Chains A and B, each alone.
Chain A
């Protein structure tokens, strides 16, 4: 029983590249516990999901995003 709506890829719709410096948009693909959401939750296409996970990890290295919730 899934109430999931058919989602469109955020990056394909807005014709954006995944940027690790753009924390504001990365936030929407992250859990309350700062975990990276899976592709079926984000609705992002597989190609962009791969870029997205890489970007989130990069922004964590530069302390733009926290690795965990305190």
Chain B
């Protein structure tokens, strides 16, 4: 809650789950309905995102799956309790959570998502070179073995030549 703001509005983010007994289209309409409830209480919706059907980490009221939906809005703090109460009473929303967040523009929001994906990618990259090193080590070992084999062959050839020389020489006896 930023006290510096004169208007008293601050940015909030709400994530809510619609139970699985609705179809996806119905869930979308319910999400719009919920957003309608939010706007009725004097909120200005800034961002909305429908995540779609996801598996819940644990069962909520015998639901294994749920439709997640996210929306960000500017609202006065006092109006939040009304939204909270109405959503708690409704059967169309399994669970919801309202959290205060810093004000973020659309570009920044995209940048954050990119950063998150990049961070996870970077970690994978760090792991890969180790594997390559191991592979290269194995390769060098194999090469060494080949070299050894070559040496053996060369030795045999030399021996053959020597033997031939010895045999061909008539001064043996």
Contacts and interface: CB of A to CB of B under 8 A. Distances in A.
Given A58-B99, A61-B97, A62-B17, A14 B58 contact: no
If over half of A's interface residues share one DSSP class (helix, strand or loop), that class is named, otherwise mixed; here it is loop
Contacts of A63: 17, 56-58, 60, 66, 95
Nearest to B104: A17
Contact of A25 (B58, B60, B99, B120): B120
Sorting the interface of chain A by its residue count into under 10, 10 to 19, 20 to 34 or 35 or more gives 20 to 34
Interface in B45-62: 56-58, 60
Contact of A66 (B58, B95, B115, B116): B58
Given A62-B15, A62-B17, A63-B95, A16 B112 contact: yes
Interface residues of B, number: 19
Nearest to A59: B57
Pairs A-B, 10 closest by C-beta atoms = A66-B57, A14-B119, A63-B56, A63-B57, A22-B116, A65-B57, A66-B58, A62-B97, A62-B15, A16-B115
Interface of A: 10, 14-17, 19-22, 24-25, 58, 60-67
Given A16-B112, A58-B99, 15 more contacts: A10-B119, A14-B115, A14-B119, A16-B119, A20-B99, A21-B15, A21-B70, A22-B116, A24-B116, A60-B57, A62-B15, A62-B68, A64-B57, A66-B57, A66-B58
13 contacts: A10-B119, A14-B118, A16-B112, A16-B116, A24-B120, A25-B119, A25-B120, A62-B97, A63-B56, A64-B57, A65-B57, A66-B57, A67-B58
